[in-house]
Amino acid sequence: MRKLTILALVFVAVQICAAQGPATGRPPFGSFQDGEFDSVNLYNLNVNFAIPIVSMPGRGLNFNYALVYDSSVWKKAYISGVGNVWRPVTDASGNATWGWKRTDLVPGGIAYSTRQDEICSTERWHPALQEWIITPYYATYYYNYAYTDADGTRHPFDVAFYGSNPSQCVSQGIQIPTGPRTGTATDGSGILLDASSPTAPTVTEKFGGVSTFDSNGNFITKTTLTGGEVQWKDTLGRIVLRIVSGSDAGGNFRDYFFRDASGTEQKYRERLKTITVSSAFLCSGVQDYNSVSAIVVDKIELPQVDGITPTYVFSYDSKGRFTQVALPTGGTYTY
C-alpha cells in the first residue's frame, strides 16, 4: 500500500492538511495532564507552558504578557499539484515560530487565510498567436480566521467571505457573497470576531476586553521606537512593558523590562541560539523538510536574588522539539 500513499492517500489528507497546524495552547473542552510547570494535551501530546512576564489587572482591560511555548512545531501542509510536505508551524506573518509565541497579546494575534477563486472569465481572439485568449477573473476569499489568546490557545471562527465582486463578473450577472464578516468562535469560548475590514480584523472576549479599548475607555498602546525598542503603555501613559533586543558575548538576547509591586524596574533576559533542524519523520507520502536554521530560546534569566540569577535552560532535539527544561529552582522536566 505504500505506493498508494504517493498519489491517493496524499490527496485523501487534503481536507486534513489544508486548514491549519496542530492544536496548541489549551483548546476549550480539551483533555490535559497538568503539571506544576507544563500542560500536556492528551489528544495530540502537545506540551504547553507559559512563563509570565507581566500580569497587570485592569478595569475591564487586563494586560498579560507571557513567553509561551508549544512543542508541536511541525504541521503537515498540502501543496496543490505537489502533495503533502512537513512545514514549520508559523505565526500570522508566515514566520516559523519553532514553538515560541511572540505575538503581541494586546490585541490578540488574529490569523486568517486567503485564496484566489475564479469567478468568471472573458474570451478574446489573439491574432498573433492564432489562439483564443481566455481571461479569468478572480476574487479574494478570506477564511480560516482564528484568534490566538495570551495562553497560546487558538480560537477558530466560522467566518468566510469574498472581498468583493469582480466588476467583470457583476456585468455578467454573477454575484458572490461578500459577508457576513462577523461571528463567534466555534469552540464555545464566546469570543467575537469582527472582520469588516478583512485584513485588519478585531476580536472581543465575552468577559472583559482584550481589544485595544475596553468598554470603559481604557486602552493599551503598543509603540515601536526608533532603534527597535517596543513599549506598551496604559491609559495613564505608564510603561507597563518594554522589550529591547541586543547582543553580547553570550549571543543575541531580548530583554523584557517591567515594574514590580514596589515600582522598581526589573528585567527578564531571553537568550537566543540558532540550531539546525529538519523534520526527518520519514512518514510515507509526506516529504520531509530539509535542514534549516531555527532560532530558539536558549535560556531565560530572571532578576537576581541574593547575587544569583535564577535561570530557565531549554534543550532541543534535531527536529526542533524541546527535550528538557531546567527550572530556576534546580529541577528539570525531561520529555
- The residue among 59, 104, 64, 327 whose CA lies nearest residue 216 is 59
Q: Is there binding between residue 124 and other proteins (CB under 8 A)? A: no
Q: Is there binding between residue 164 and other proteins (CB under 8 A)? A: yes
Minimal distance in Å, beta carbon 171 to other proteins?
Answer: 11
Q: Is there binding between residue 115 and other proteins (CB under 8 A)? A: yes
Exactly one of 33, 44, 55, 121 binds other proteins (CB under 8 A); which one? 121
Q: Which residues pair with 308 in a beta bridge?
A: 305
- Nearer Cβ to other proteins (29/132): 132
Q: Which residues pair with 246 in a beta bridge?
A: 253
- In angstroms, the CA 268 to CA 63 distance is 17
- Nearer Cβ to other proteins (284/304): 284
Exactly one of 28, 52, 57, 136 binds other proteins (CB under 8 A); which one? 136
Other Cβ atoms less than 10 A from the Cβ of 135: the count is: 10
Exactly one of 18, 42, 174, 225 binds other proteins (CB under 8 A); which one? 18
**Site residues (CB under 8 A) for other proteins, limited to 138-157:** 138-140, 144
Q: Is there binding between residue 122 and other proteins (CB under 8 A)? A: no
Exactly one of 66, 244, 288, 335 binds other proteins (CB under 8 A); which one? 288
Exactly one of 83, 107, 108, 156 binds other proteins (CB under 8 A); which one? 83
Q: Is there binding between residue 12 and other proteins (CB under 8 A)? A: yes
Q: Is there binding between residue 3 and other proteins (CB under 8 A)? A: yes
Query: Do residues 187 and 28 touch, judged by C-beta distance below 8 A?
Result: yes
Minimal distance in Å, beta carbon 90 to other proteins?
Answer: 6
**Per-residue exposure over 14-24, b if at least 16 CB sit within 10 Å of its own CB, e if not:** eeebeebbbbb
- Nearer Cβ to other proteins (4/45): 4
Contacts with other proteins, residue ranges (CB under 8 A): 2-4, 6-8, 10-12, 14, 17-20, 77-85, 87, 90, 93-94, 113-118, 121, 128-134, 136-140, 144, 163-168, 281-290
